[in-house]
Structures are given as C-alpha cells and as structure tokens.
Amino acid sequence: MEGFRGQVMRLTYWKTAKATFPRQFEEAKSEMRSLSESAEAWLRNKDPRTWLRAHFSTRCKSDLLLNNNSPMQWEHVRDMEPILPPIIRKPPGRPKQTRRKEVDEVRESGPKLSKTGQQANCTKCGKPGHNTKTCKWIVGGNQMESQSSSLQI
C-alpha cells in the first residue's frame, strides 16, 4: 500500500485483503475508513477480483473442499418464517430388528445350509408331507385314524 504507513494500517489492509466473505470484507473496509478515508478510497479504485479473496472465483479447483461456512459468516435474512424440523411419524407395528435376507445371501451365523426345497418328515410316522401336529396316525397302534374307525364299524 503506497503512501500509507504504520503497523495498524498494514494489519488492517491485510485483514481486508484476506476477508473470505463479502460481509467480513465490509467490516474490514469500514475499519480502514475509520483509520484513513484516502486509504479506503485507494482500495475502492482497485478491482476486487484481482486482490480480494471474497471476490475470487467460487468454482472448485480441486476435488477436496473444506468449508468451515460459522454463523458469523452467514448473511442476514429478514422477513422469513422459522424453519421447523419435519414431523416424525411412527409407523404402526413393531420395528424390524434386522432386514430380511435373500435366499442366496450369506448369513452371519456361519456356513449353515438352507432347508429350502426340502420336504420334512413326520417324527411320529416317518412319512413326508406333514408334521407331528397334523399327523393322522394313532400313537399306540401305528394305524391311521380313518382305518381304525372303519374297522370298528
């Protein structure tokens, strides 16, 4: 900064140049105006796109972008209704603990084989197609109920 000397003026100039947001730039510019009107006029004549960080291109120049965007840097918004959180709806029924896995998907319990496609045998009579609860055989005589009732008639 030609013609403007002093440590305070130099620090204020760099504070203005390093301003990341327009609001931060305006605050630093008003601080410089309080120190020297001519220094602020000198800055006003320079093209801000060439030296001011707040007016640099916002297009991303790399694939890594870190914005650390605090409430001090937010723009003031007036006449806006407050934004409320969404209504949380509780679905009916008991929530599922885990998702249902597909038939061919690996289970976490280890190399356990699936019983899909196999027919279970009854433990009472040993015949396939039904279970103990629906078995028609009589327990003591190994005869079917329908045969024993026909024998009694």
Domain ranges of the chain: 1-57, 122-153
Token pair belonging to 32: 């410089």
Q: With cut-offs at 50, 70 and 90, classify the pLDDT of residue 87.
A: very high
Per cent of the chain over pLDDT 90 is: 3
What tens digit of pLDDT does each residue of 103-126 get?
787 767 666 677 777 888 888 888
| Bridge partners of residue 121, in order along the sequence | 128
Residue with token string 């030609």? 2
Strand stretches in the chain, DSSP E: none
pLDDT above 60: residue 63: yes
Count of beta carbons in the 10 Å neighbourhood of residue 4: 16
d(CA 131, CA 119): 10
- Nearest 5°: the CA angle 39, 42, 43 is 90
